Amino acid sequence: MSVSRGVVFAGVFVVAGASAAFADPQTAAQLRDRALTDPTAYSVLESLTTQIGPRPVGTPAAHRAADWGVAKLKALGFKNVHVEAFAKPSWHRDAESAEVIAPFPQPLAVIGLGESVSTPPDGVEAQIVVLDNLNQMKSAAPDAFKGKIVVMNQPMTRSESGMGYGVAVAARSGESEAAKHGAIAYLTRSISTGTGRAPHTGATNYKDGAPKIPAGALGVPDADLLAHMAARGPVRIHLKLLSHVDPDTQGYTVSGDIVGSAKPDEIIVIGGHLDSWDPGTGAIDDGAGIAITTAAAHLIGALPHHPRRTIRVVMWGSEETEGSGAAYLAAHKDELSKFVLASESDFGSDRIYALTLPKGAFADPELAALPGVLAPIKVMADPRPATNAGSDVEEIQGAGVPVFSLAQDGMRYFDYHHSADDTLAIVDPEQLKQNVAAWAATLYMLANSDIDFRASAAAK
């Protein structure tokens, strides 16, 4: 994507009224333009994927990632840089394989789902039942899948907002329903919009009241392959999904501040998550979020005058299997009132197309110039109130912290997400910079304002 610089808009800012005294859209526009040529985000992302690589919680790499985060934030001028450790049992993948035994022997691409129980060490061999959607499973007879392996071949819809994920991801936790009907294992088509064979992992959630059976994901082509085979008659496969849980591990969340010049105790909490799945190098999920928010805050920190409020970059340590959002809430319960706003960047590295704010905030004179600052980089001011701002801020949001969100183009995100193909090779450096530009300009104006977003939302 090519990004226009839009300096032609600079002239409009001088007409801002007295009530927007602190807004300073001129500096926001300068930050935006500086971001479009700033190499920091790509450099941070290259460093994380190269020097750490995959970093699931509970691995040595996750520990090294925390050290990396501390060093990176310090080097980029952040203050109060520290690690917040929390207890987090961790799931670890061991040997995995799958293959068709009969009638058409061939190997299958498979990956275990996070939190899955293991098959026996030698695996299981059974006939498969291929279903097209979750509904077919729910309406099946009680013993419909007795002794069989359920293959859920429910496809996912591509969409800019990523809403297809919300619909499709239920299939990643279908094993309990399958088990209720007698299944001995469960394989879902990867929750993916792509055509690549690399299977997409992700955490599964066992439901109460059903036996825990092993659960994995097939490559998209492999799920279709089994459907094609099953259309011809009975198919037997062999499946091995081994894993273990380490109950005594810790997650590590890294934090650093660009300290506010006037109201340092009013804090805007942003960031990404530092943990990743294992098959790729965690470039778009969520090295990009780390890189974008770090680079944006760093650009603001490098200004001669910091904005009035503090900007805090948090690298949450256990998003993929949950835990870091709740740990963050627990650790910061007593200072929640200081958190004036929160958001997370956790949807890859492609262009931002919209900003949402807490209800009523766009109407505040202090932010009147913000849409004009964002328009040249093709970011809309979305008038709907922000509702969703990332998994790691859900808990503090639930405890009353207002959120904002910069919506990214998700058209290709789920081609790669949670698979081996999530690497630096799929990151477009120009779109990454546009992300930083949108974050830097937005953050600067939010941090410079005196808006009480809790009150703003409540007043309307």
Which residues are the active-site residues? 319
Q: Which of 6, 25, 53, 69 binds a copy of itself (CB under 8 A)?
A: 53
Phi, psi dihedral angles at 438 (to 5 degrees)? -65, -45
Q: Which of 128, 131, 149, 220 binds a copy of itself (CB under 8 A)?
A: 220
Q: Which residues, 6 or more positions from 158, have their beta carbon under 8 angstroms from its beta carbon?
A: 164, 193, 411, 414
Q: How far is Cα 31 from Cα 285, in angstroms, rounded to an integer?
A: 25
DSSP 44-107: HHHHHHHHT----TTSHHHHHHHHHHHHHHHHTT-EEEEEEEEE--EEEEEEEEEEEEESS-EE
Q: Which is nearer to a copy of itself, 94 or 265 (CB)?
A: 94
Q: How far is the CB of 93 from a copy of itself (least distance, A)?
A: 11
Q: Burial code of 415-454, b = ≥16 C-beta within 10 A, e = fewer?
A: bbbbbbbbbbebbeeebbbbbbbbbbbbbbbbbbbbbebb
What does the per-residue mask of binding to a copy of itself show for 403-432, with x meaning CB under 8 A?
A: -----------------xx-xxxx------
Q: Which is nearer to a copy of itself, 69 or 219 (CB)?
A: 219
Burial class (CB in 10 A: 0-12, 13-18, 19+), 60: exposed
Q: How far is the CB of 167 from a copy of itself (least distance, A)?
A: 20
Q: How far is the CB of 274 from a copy of itself (least distance, A)?
A: 15
Q: Which of 195, 248, 333, 335 binds a copy of itself (CB under 8 A)?
A: 195
Q: How far is the CB of 225 from a copy of itself (least distance, A)?
A: 6
Count of residues that interact with a copy of itself, criterion CB under 8 A = 36
Contact (CB, 8 A) for 292 and 434: no
54-83 positions binding a copy of itself, by CB under 8 A: 54, 60-61
Q: Which is nearer to a copy of itself, 96 or 421 (CB)?
A: 421
Q: How far is the CB of 286 from a copy of itself (least distance, A)?
A: 17
Distances (CA, A) of 200 to 155, 277, 377: 13, 10, 32
Q: Burial code of 305-332, b = ≥16 C-beta within 10 A, e = fewer?
A: ebbbbbbbbbbbbbbbbbbbbbbbbeeb
Q: Which of 26, 118, 160, 196 binds a copy of itself (CB under 8 A)?
A: 196
Q: Is 109 in the site for a copy of itself (CB under 8 A)?
A: yes
Q: Is 46 in the site for a copy of itself (CB under 8 A)?
A: yes
What does the per-residue mask of binding to a copy of itself show for 281-320, with x meaning CB under 8 A?
A: x---------------------------------------
Q: How far is Cα 155 from Cα 289, in angstroms, rounded to an integer?
A: 27
- How many other C-beta atoms are found inside a 10 Å radius of the C-beta of residue 244? 10
Q: Which of 106, 157, 337, 387 binds a copy of itself (CB under 8 A)?
A: 106
Choose one: 143-151, 227-235, 246-254, 325-333; the region binding a copy of itself (CB under 8 A).
Answer: 227-235
Q: Which of 187, 198, 237, 311 binds a copy of itself (CB under 8 A)?
A: 198
**Is the preceding omega at residue 304 within 30 degrees of 0, hence cis?**
no
Q: Please measure the distance between the N-terminal and C-terminal CA atoms of the chain and give it in whole angstroms.
A: 37
Q: How far is Cα 187 from Cα 439, in angstroms, rounded to an integer?
A: 39
Choose one: 87-95, 193-201, 257-265, 331-339; the region binding a copy of itself (CB under 8 A).
Answer: 193-201
Which among 404, 417, 405, 411 has a CA at the least distance from the CA of 431? Answer: 411
Q: Which is nearer to a copy of itself, 102 or 399 (CB)?
A: 102
Q: Is 125 in the site for a copy of itself (CB under 8 A)?
A: no
Choose one: 49-57, 333-341, 367-375, 399-407; the region binding a copy of itself (CB under 8 A).
Answer: 49-57
Choose one: 177-185, 189-197, 309-317, 451-459; the region binding a copy of itself (CB under 8 A).
Answer: 189-197
At 1, list the tokens. Answer: 């994507």
The torsion defined by the Cα of 284, 325, 44 and 416, in degrees rounded to 10, comes to: -10
Residues that bind a copy of itself (CB under 8 A): 46, 49-54, 60-61, 100, 104-107, 109, 195-198, 219-221, 224-225, 228-229, 232, 279-281, 420-421, 423-426
